[in-house]
Chains A and B, each alone.
Chain A
Amino acid sequence: MEPIDDLIREAMPRAPRGIADAVEKRLATRRRARRSLVGAGLFVAAAAMLVLWLVARPARVNESSWMAKSATVTTIDGRPIAIDRPLPVGAVVHVAGGGEARLERPSAGERARVQLFANTDARVGDGALELLTGSARLEGPEARLTGDVAEVTTLGVGAAATVELRRNAMLNKNMAALAALLTVGVVDGGARVQAKGHAPVLLAKNDRTMVAPKMPPLTTRAPAKTSAKSPTPAPAPAAKPAATPTANEDDNILDKDIIRTTVQKHLPEIRFCYEQALKESPKLGGKFVVKFTLVTKDGVARVSDGEIVPGDEGYLESLSMQSCVLQAFSRWRFPPSRTGEDVVVGYPLVFKAGDDEAE
């Protein structure tokens, strides 16, 4: 051993006090940090797994109570439709030209059936089918079709109704009233038609109604089986168009002549409707009564709840023409009633092919 070794050894530094305490403190701090890190890691991992699960989970197929009982040239979401299998909610049934599909679901102990005709699209809902375009026949209790125009529900076990939804894709939303037209005709039993923004209309057998967006339903009542003599006075001579309001509830609050004047002012519009109908049926002719309520507001009366009811005889049954006439009436403005109250009006119209069509 050299003397320098002793000198170096004597110069060996000694650890300051508290090294062991400081080490314990560092270890405790790191344990806490590790626990926090593990907790944060677990939280992040759990959150990531939740996000992955939400993103990657298979879409839940919600089955409806509707089943196809028969179908030809029909697809559902572009695939062949399965018979006697529940249809998935949200799927679109497409019946191509020449095809037909019969769908049904349990309802009130019976079967609600919907027959979709050719060129029809309908989206499957849990309780109702949404008619997108085309035509269908509803049968049974509470067979229901919904849509952006109106909801149609059959009433009664033996009820049956036809529904047709025509769309005109050429028209923009500023002409929404003409962009779609839903026509409902009751074949048997009754039906309820609920147009958006309007009171529901109850239809009986052979009644018809037409619904266009932003318009009140235009209803045509079936002619009564026993035709009672109407108190309506005889129509004016053909050469002098003078349709006469005959069902004014209260002559004291709205003069018939005022109504007649307004209608005559717009008679070319009625004539236009008739001329259009004549193009399809050149021998078309007959009578009906436009029944409506005049609602006075802000100093002017407007038509509300218009419907077509048959006259006593010679009922003119052209649905498209009736719709045209009702729409014309709904556009007009009448003088206000004397008391400001609503007035129910029945206005008979007589159509006859020749020089003067409407009277």
Chain B
Amino acid sequence: MADELDRPTLSRCRRGDAQAFRALVERYQDRVYALCVALAGSDAEDLTQETFVRVHGAIGSFDDDGPAHLGAWILTIARRLCTDRARWRARRPTVALDVVALGDATPGADAQLERARQTRALRQAIAELPEDQRAVVALQVWDGLEYEEIAAIERVPVGTVRSRLARAKEALKRALGLDDEERNGTDR
């Protein structure tokens, strides 16, 4: 996983250095937040904060020579919290993905409008995916994890990760009308 926290900062985190832990939070907050948005919608901010509180309490037990990168370890914690929250909110299965603010604005009024429209459509499409597909999409595309890392977090074989991801992307293409374009291009 790219852009991992350096070892000295991690060591300082273990010793209780507040500045080092703040650096850790700022390093991973977007990835954690994206996963939480995909899985928990409007609870994402709360779950992101709670994830780092848990990380603070467990950082001493993280083995930086172990199989998981720090990022994957943190995302595992976030994933568990999202699952727990989803169970707790079992009566509210719909994820309100559209209330979450998105990222940077883009220059150019038309392009911005078009991008915003497409983004809203994509967010809506992701929200309508099954939870296990939302999770692999977020972990693979947004968080940049390898299939093996995703498989470890999701506790499924790598093949299952691949198939879930493939099904998710097909669904998203259909939702955005991209499969028609591809088909038409192929026909031509």
Q: CB-nearest residue of chain B relative to A29?
A: B53
Tell me the B30-49 residues at the A interface (CB within 8 Å): 30, 32-34, 37, 44-45, 48-49
Report the Cα distance A8→B136, complex, angstroms.
Answer: 12
B25, B104, B173, most chain A CB atoms within 10 A: B25
Output the least CB separation between B119 and chain A (Å).
5
Report the Cα distance A357→B56, complex, angstroms.
Answer: 109
A4, A5, A9, most chain B CB atoms within 10 A: A4
Check B52 against A23 for contact (C-beta < 8 Å). yes
A12 interfacial by beta-carbon distance below 8 Å: yes
CB < 8 Å neighbour of B30 from A5, A15, A24: A15
Report the Cα distance A8→B33, complex, angstroms.
Answer: 15
B14 interfacial by beta-carbon distance below 8 Å: no
Check A16 against B53 for contact (C-beta < 8 Å). no
Check A13 against B103 for contact (C-beta < 8 Å). yes
Q: CB-nearest residue of chain A relative to B123?
A: A11
A10 interfacial by beta-carbon distance below 8 Å: yes
Check B173 against A4 for contact (C-beta < 8 Å). yes
Check A12 against B45 for contact (C-beta < 8 Å). no
- The binding surface of chain B is classed by DSSP as helix
What residues of B have a CB within 8 angstroms of the CB of A24 in the complex?
A: 18, 22
What residues of B have a CB within 8 angstroms of the CB of A26 in the complex?
A: 49-50, 53
Output the least CB separation between A15 and chain B (Å).
4
Report the Cα distance A344→B55, complex, angstroms.
Answer: 100
A229 interfacial by beta-carbon distance below 8 Å: no
Output the least CB separation between B32 and chain A (Å).
7
Check A12 against B29 for contact (C-beta < 8 Å). no
Check A4 against B172 for contact (C-beta < 8 Å). yes
What residues of B have a CB within 8 angstroms of the CB of A4 in the complex?
A: 169, 172-173, 176, 178
Report the Cα distance A2→B101, complex, angstroms.
Answer: 25
Check A27 against B100 for contact (C-beta < 8 Å). no
Check B33 against A14 for contact (C-beta < 8 Å). yes
Residues A13 and B44 in contact in the complex (CB < 8 Å), given A4-B173, A4-B178, A27-B53: yes
Q: How large is the interface on A (under 10, 10 to 19, 20 to 34, 35 or more residues)?
A: 20 to 34
CB < 8 Å neighbour of A3 from B26, B102, B178: B178
Report the Cα distance A93→B115, complex, angstroms.
Answer: 104
Tell me the B118-152 residues at the A interface (CB within 8 Å): 118-119, 122-123, 126, 137, 141-142
Report the Cα distance A11→B25, complex, angstroms.
Answer: 21
Check A20 against B26 for contact (C-beta < 8 Å). yes
Report the Cα distance A12→B123, complex, angstroms.
Answer: 9
Report the Cα distance A198→B169, complex, angstroms.
Answer: 109
Report the Cα distance A266→B158, complex, angstroms.
Answer: 121
What residues of A have a CB within 8 angstroms of the CB of B37 in the complex?
A: 13
Report the Cα distance A11→B124, complex, angstroms.
Answer: 11
What residues of B have a CB within 8 angstroms of the CB of A20 in the complex?
A: 22, 25-26, 29, 52
Check A19 against B141 for contact (C-beta < 8 Å). no
Report the Cα distance A3→B126, complex, angstroms.
Answer: 16
A5, A7, A24, most chain B CB atoms within 10 A: A7
Check A19 against B53 for contact (C-beta < 8 Å). no
Residues A23 and B34 in contact in the complex (CB < 8 Å), given A3-B178, A14-B103: no
What residues of A have a CB within 8 angstroms of the CB of B137 in the complex?
A: 8
What residues of A have a CB within 8 angstroms of the CB of B142 in the complex?
A: 8-9, 12
Output the least CB separation between B139 and chain A (Å).
12
Report the Cα distance A193→B112, complex, angstroms.
Answer: 114
Check B53 against A13 for contact (C-beta < 8 Å). no
Q: CB-nearest residue of chain B relative to A8?
A: B141
Q: CB-nearest residue of chain B relative to A21?
A: B22
CB < 8 Å neighbour of B33 from A7, A10, A13: A13
Residues A12 and B53 in contact in the complex (CB < 8 Å), given A19-B25, A24-B18: no
Q: CB-nearest residue of chain B relative to A6?
A: B141
Check A15 against B176 for contact (C-beta < 8 Å). no
CB < 8 Å neighbour of A23 from B25, B119, B126: B25
Check B56 against A14 for contact (C-beta < 8 Å). no
User: Interface readout for A322-358 with B: 1 if CB under 8 Å, 0 if not?
Assistant: 0000000000000000000000000000000000000
Check B141 against A13 for contact (C-beta < 8 Å). no
Q: CB-nearest residue of chain B relative to A26?
A: B53
User: Interface readout for B171-188 with A: 1 if CB under 8 Å, 0 if not?
Assistant: 011001010000000000
Report the Cα distance A26→B119, complex, angstroms.
Answer: 33
Q: CB-nearest residue of chain A relative to B102?
A: A13
A52 interfacial by beta-carbon distance below 8 Å: no
Residues of A participating in the B interface, judged by any CB pair closer than 8 Å: 2-5, 7-16, 19-20, 22-24, 26-27, 30
Residues of B participating in the A interface, judged by any CB pair closer than 8 Å: 18, 22, 25-26, 29-30, 32-34, 37, 44-45, 48-50, 52-53, 56, 100-104, 115, 118-119, 122-123, 126, 137, 141-142, 169, 172-173, 176, 178
Selected A-B contacts with CB under 8 Å, 27 pairs:
A4-B176, A4-B178, A5-B141, A5-B169, A7-B122, A7-B176, A8-B137, A8-B142, A10-B115, A11-B102, A12-B34, A13-B37, A13-B44, A14-B102, A14-B104, A15-B45, A15-B48, A19-B52, A20-B25, A20-B52, A22-B49, A23-B25, A23-B53, A24-B18, A26-B49, A27-B56, A30-B53
